[in-house]
Amino acid sequence: MSKQGDTDGYWRANLRLLAALLSIWFIVSFGFGVLLADWLDQFRLFGFKLGFFFAQQGSIYVFVLLIFYYVWRMNRIEREFDVHED
């Protein structure tokens, strides 16, 4: 079933994806890197305290992964709503 011309649906899907990814990024960067850093410091990852790791490197790694996921998912959404650039 083609959803051509359903611009409202396209933007709902786009904004829902953005809200989900920004929420994940906020939780990882602010939640894990700042609010829960002291509690996470009881665990270690690659020899570093986990709270320190999220504050310094982990949130950046998650952000880069979210960018790749966003590109992949938006390509699928654009094809679904027939607004891709092929």
Asked if residue 63 is part of any domain, the answer here is: yes
Residues spanned by the domain of 61: 19-80
Q: Average pLDDT for residues 51-72, to the nearest whole number?
A: 92
Question: Is the pLDDT at 77 greater than 50, yes or no?
Answer: yes
Which pair of structure tokens corresponds to residue 70? 């966003």
Give how many domains the chain has, as a whole number.
Answer: 1
Asked if residue 3 is part of any domain, the answer here is: no
Asked if residue 29 is part of any domain, the answer here is: yes
* Cβ neighbours around 54 below 10 Å, total: 26
Q: How far apart are CA 62 and CA 70, in angstroms?
A: 12
pLDDT tens-place string over residues 2-40 = 455 688 899 999 999 999 999 999 999 899 888 998 999
pLDDT of residue 86: 66
Q: How far apart are CA 54 and CA 24, in angstroms?
A: 13
Quote the DSSP letter at residue 86.
Answer: -
pLDDT of residue 1: 42
